[in-house]
């Protein structure tokens, strides 16, 4: 019998700096009322100078691992969903792996826009149910504030920074991730795009002058796509799970726009309390929005053991995805001796040390004269 993929831990990180609509009034031609009425956003978080997608992902991951009572060395895989990686290569997941000291884990990124976290969740579920992985860390993390044109009021008011993480583990108990659906329509690739920085349009003085390294979006077209696909994805995943819409206890949608969320809710004929919204606090954090929202739902006790939760996202690509999850509260962990607790905290705190030592040894080895040099 195939194992089930259960959520064992969750954690989020939001930067300390808050950028309010009133702050934006002094930066671009906009108003608090204009932003609220069109998006529902009141404020968003902005990464600090020393913060990046990887550093925020690490903070969220540590909190998720601590809640799951899991050591980084027990992880089989780390998947980071992001469209704002630290580098084109290596993968941000590899930076996270080194920082955590998860030296036994495979590590890779997923780029599927705002749907990325659902894609990562689906991959983790498939790896666990196939018996390939036992424990998987998935993270949605973004530093979108560095990819927006702060002179474009149509896009700069929308996005924020942050990270959310889940730990999934294998279990023989029914529940956890019941079903996932994924989809894409590449014919809409130009509707939401960062044009430059890749092989098609390498960086140049012209691309910098044209703000081609920032997010470009056809807002109306994306709105039409989202209001159609969000409720359809919810219906698809519930059919795949073999459950009626009335069985849903909570829908956690991608936090992009309040009007999109409300339109989807009405199409699904679900009550307001069935949809969780924290958009007004964080703005659109792309792949991080769903895990951040799920963390807040769990931390505030808005779902209980046995609750049916639907996670649903849509984004650049165009992509979409949904997951039906039977929430299960982890069994209380037996109290551990003080020295085990201290060792666990030390492992999380000094997770970078093994990677640092390996790099140091590699550089020393490179510096040693070879036989060819001696000859």
Instruction: Tell whether 19 and 133 lie within a shared domain.
Output: yes
Average per-residue pLDDT in the chain? 92
146 within some domain: yes
CATH classification of the domain holding 289? 3.40.47.10
Mean pLDDT to the nearest integer, 201-206: 94
Q: Write the pLDDT tens digit of every residue in 252-266.
A: 999 999 999 999 999
Instruction: Tell whether 112 and 185 lie within a shared domain.
Output: yes
Q: Is 284 a catalytic residue?
A: yes
Instruction: Please identify which of the residues 6, 21, 257, 284 carries the catalytic annotation.
Output: 284
**Number of Cβ within a 10 Å radius of residue 76:** 19
332 within some domain: no
Strands (E), the chain: 4-13, 17-20, 43-46, 77-81, 106-110, 135-143, 161-171, 176-184, 192-193, 216-217, 250-253, 308-315, 319-326
**In the chain, how many domains are there?**
2
Q: Does residue 90 have a cis peptide bond before it, meaning omega lies within 30 degrees of 0?
A: yes
Mean pLDDT to the nearest integer, 133-159: 96
Q: Write the pLDDT tens digit of every residue in 260-295.
A: 999 999 999 999 999 999 999 999 999 999 999 999
Q: Write the pLDDT tens digit of every residue in 318-329.
A: 999 999 999 985
pLDDT for position 351: 61
Instruction: Please identify which of the residues 94, 114, 156, 180 carries the catalytic annotation.
Output: 114
Q: Is 257 a catalytic residue?
A: no
CA distance 61 to 136: 11
Instruction: Tell whether 238 and 355 lie within a shared domain.
Output: no
Instruction: Tell whether 67 and 129 lie within a shared domain.
Output: yes
Please report how the helices 92-100 and 53-68 are oriented relative to each other, as an axis angle in degrees rounded to 10.
50
Q: Is 26 a catalytic residue?
A: no
Instruction: Tell whether 144 and 276 lie within a shared domain.
Output: yes
140 within some domain: yes
Does the predicted TM-score (pTM) go above 0.75?
Answer: yes
Instruction: Tell whether 274 and 216 lie within a shared domain.
Output: yes
Q: Write the pLDDT tens digit of every residue in 37-92.
A: 999 999 999 999 999 999 999 999 999 999 999 999 999 999 999 999 999 999 99
Instruction: Tell whether 346 and 282 lie within a shared domain.
Output: no
232 within some domain: yes
94 within some domain: yes
**Which tokens sit at 116?**
């990325």
Q: Write the pLDDT tens digit of every residue in 161-183.
A: 999 999 999 999 999 999 999 99
Mean pLDDT to the nearest integer, 291-318: 96
91 within some domain: yes
pLDDT for position 330: 47
Instruction: Tell whether 370 and 233 lie within a shared domain.
Output: no
Instruction: Tell whether 26 and 75 lie within a shared domain.
Output: yes
pLDDT for position 332: 39
Instruction: Tell whether 360 and 253 lie within a shared domain.
Output: no
Q: Which domain covers residue 342, as residue numbers?
A: 338-374
Instruction: Please identify which of the residues 6, 180, 254, 257 carries the catalytic annotation.
Output: 254
Instruction: Tell whether 184 and 151 lie within a shared domain.
Output: yes
Instruction: Tell whether 213 and 347 lie within a shared domain.
Output: no
pLDDT for position 334: 47
């Amino acid at each position: 019998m195939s194992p089930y993929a259960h959520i064992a831990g969750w954690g989020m990180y939001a930067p300390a700096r808050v950028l309010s609509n009133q702050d934006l009034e002094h930066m671009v031609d906009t108003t608090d009322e204009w932003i609220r009425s069109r998006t529902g956003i009141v404020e968003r978080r902005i990464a600090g100078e020393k913060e990046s997608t990887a550093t925020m992902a690490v903070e969220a991951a540590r909190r998720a691992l601590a809640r799951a009572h899991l050591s980084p060395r027990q992880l089989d895989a780390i998947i980071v969903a992001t469209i704002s990686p630290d580098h084109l290569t290596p993968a941000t997941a590899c930076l996270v792996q080194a920082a955590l000291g998860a030296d036994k884990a495979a590590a890779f990124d997923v780029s599927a826009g705002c749907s990325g976290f659902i894609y990562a969740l689906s991959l983790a579920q498939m790896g666990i149910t196939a018996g390939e992985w036992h424990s998987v860390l998935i993270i949605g993390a973004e530093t979108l504030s560095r990819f927006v044109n702060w002179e474009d009021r149509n896009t700069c008011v929308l996005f924020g920074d942050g990270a959310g993480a889940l730990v999934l583990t294998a279990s023989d108990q029914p529940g956890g991730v019941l079903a996932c659906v994924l989809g894409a329509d590449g014919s809409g690739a130009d509707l939401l795009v960062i044009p430059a920085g890749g092989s098609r349009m390498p960086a140049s003085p012209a691309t910098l002058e044209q703000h081609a390294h920032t997010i470009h979006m056809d807002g109306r077209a994306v709105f039409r796509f989202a209001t159609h696909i969000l409720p359809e994805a919810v219906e698809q995943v519930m059919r795949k799970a073999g459950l009626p819409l009335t069985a849903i206890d909570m829908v956690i949608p991608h936090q992009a726009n309040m009007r999109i969320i409300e339109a989807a809710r009405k199409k699904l004929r679900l009550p307001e309390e069935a949809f969780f919204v924290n958009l007004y606090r964080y703005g659109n954090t792309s792949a991080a929005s769903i895990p951040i929202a799920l963390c807040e739902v769990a931390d505030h006790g808005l779902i209980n053991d046995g609750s049916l939760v639907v996670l649903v996202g849509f984004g650049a690509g165009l992509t979409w995805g949904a997951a039906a999850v039977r929430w299960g509260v982890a069994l209380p962990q037996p109290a551990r001796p003080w020295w085990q607790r201290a060792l666990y905290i030390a492992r999380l705190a000094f997770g970078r040390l093994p990677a640092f030592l390996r790099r140091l040894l590699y550089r020393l080895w490179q510096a040693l004269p070879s036989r060819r040099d001696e000859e």
